[in-house]
Structure 1
Amino acid sequence: MGTVSLILGESGTGKTASLRHLNPKTCLLIQSIQKPLPFPAKDWRPWAAKDPHSSIYVSDLWQPVKMALSRAYDYGKRIAVVDDFQYIMANEFMRRGEEKSYEKFTEIAHHTWDILHHTIHHTPP
C-alpha cells in the first residue's frame, strides 16, 4: 500500500523546487504541465521505458497518470510525485467544455479519486 502525501502552497513557495533533494534515479516526477524544473536538473531526464534512469513523465490524462504510478516501482522508482495535480482535473474539464451534461463533473471527480484510491491501495509501500 502506497503512502499518499498532499503538499499545498501558493505559487512560488518551493513545492517543485524541493524535488532537488530527491534522487532522480529512484523518483518518478509526473508533470501534468511540462515545464522546466526550478533548479539545475541535468540528472532529471524525460521518461524512456528502456532507460531506468529517466525520471520525468509528462501527461495530464488520468489513465496514463494512474498507469505511471502503478508501474513506477517496476522501474526502481520508490517515490512518485505528481506535480500540479490540479491540472489533471482542470485540463479534462476544459477538454470536455462542449459537453452539456452535469455528468461530466461527476466523471472528472471519479477520475481524480480513482488515481488517489489506486495509489493508496494498489502500489507497494
Structure 2
Amino acid sequence: MGVAVLLIGKSGQGKSTSLRNFGEEEISLINVSKKPLPFQKKFKKTIETDDYNKIHQLLDKSSSDSIVIDDASYLITNMFMNKHSTAGAGNAVFALYNNLGDEFWRLIEHIKALPPQKVVYVIMHEDRSDFGEIKPKTIGKLLDDKVCIEGMFTVVLRCMADKGRHFFRTQTDGMDVAKSPFGMFEQFEIDNDLKLVDQTIRAYWGI
C-alpha cells in the first residue's frame, strides 16, 4: 500500500521550502493553493488544482514515486467557501460538513491504496485546539469530530522555526501531534529537508 505522510506548520515556517532539494523531475507537485514556490526551482510535473476528482486521477497516473499535495488545508477551505452560502441551514449544514470530511477521508484512503513505492506528502497548516494542542487546521469542531486527520497517518512531522533555524519535529512534545515509528528518525528535531525525509522513510520500510 502507499504511504501517506502528514506535514503541518504555521505559514512561513518552511513547509514548502522543505521541497527545495528534490530534483526538478523527481516529484509530482499538486499545488492546491496555486501560489509560487518560495525558491526559484520549478518542478516540471506540477498541477494546480483543488478538485478532488482531478487529484485522485493524478495520484493514479503519476509517474513519480514521491508526490506532494501543498497546501491540502485549502482542499477543505475552498470546498467550504464555495458551498456554505448555498448549503442552507440545519441538516444541510451538517450534510456539508459530512461531505467535507468524507472527501478528505477518501483522499487519504486513496493514497493508502496506491502501489507500495508511492509516498505522498500531505502538507497542511496547523491550528491550536481549545486544549492548547497543535493539530492540522480544518474548518472547526464539526469536521474535527468526524475525522481525526492526524490519526490517519503513521508519520506526522511538524515544521517549525526558531531563531532563523528551520526544522521538523519528529515526535510530540506533549502538545502537538507529531509522531513517527520507533527508530525511523534518530533525532527529535531534524533539518526541514523533505528529500532527506523521503530517503529515510524508504530506507526504514524497505520501499
> TM-score when scaled to structure 1?
0.83
Question: Equivalent residue of 2:87, what SS?
Answer: coil
> CA offset at residue 62 of structure 1?
1.1
Question: Is the strand fraction higher in 1 or 2?
Answer: 2
**What TM-score, normalized by structure 2, do the two folds share?**
0.52
Structure 2 counterpart of 1:47: none
Looking at structure 1, the residues matched to 60 and 116 of structure 2 have their Cα atoms a distance apart, in angstroms, of 9
Unaligned runs of 5+ in 1: 45-53
Amino acid at match of 1:117: E
- In the alignment, is the contact (CA less than 8 A) between 1:70 and 1:119 conserved in 2? no
**2:42 aligned with 1:55, yes or no?**
no
Does residue 4 in structure 1 map to residue 4 in structure 2? yes
Please tell me the root mean square deviation across aligned C-alpha atoms, in Å. 1.2
Decide whether the 8 Å contact of 1:29 with 1:80 is kept in 2.
yes
CA distance in 1, matches of 2:71, 2:115: 21
- Report the residue type matching 2:37 in the other structure: L
Partner residue of 1:65 out of 41, 52, 55: 55
Distance 1:24 1:57 in 2: 14
Asked whether the equivalents of residues 70 and 123 of structure 1 are also in contact (C-alpha less than 8 Å), the reply is no
The 5 A counterparts of 1:1-125 are: 1-41=1-41, 43-44=42-43, 54-72=44-62, 75=63, 77-97=64-84, 98-100=86-88, 101=92, 102-125=94-117
Deviation string for 1:1-37 (max 9, x for gaps)?
1111101111111110111111231200101111111
Once the two structures are overlaid, the 10-residue window that deviates more, 60-69 or 83-92, is: 60-69
Gaps of 5+ in 2: 118-207
Structure 2 counterpart SS, 1:6: strand
Secondary structure, counterpart of 2:68 in structure 1: strand
**Residues 16-66 of structure 1: CA deviation (Å, up to 9, x unaligned):** 01111112312001011111111111x42xxxxxxxxx3111111111112
- Give me the identity figure in percent: 27
Report how far residue 123 of structure 1 moved.
Answer: 3.5
Structure 2 SS opposite 1:30: strand
Higher relative contact order (CA closer than 8 Å, sequence separation 6+)? 1
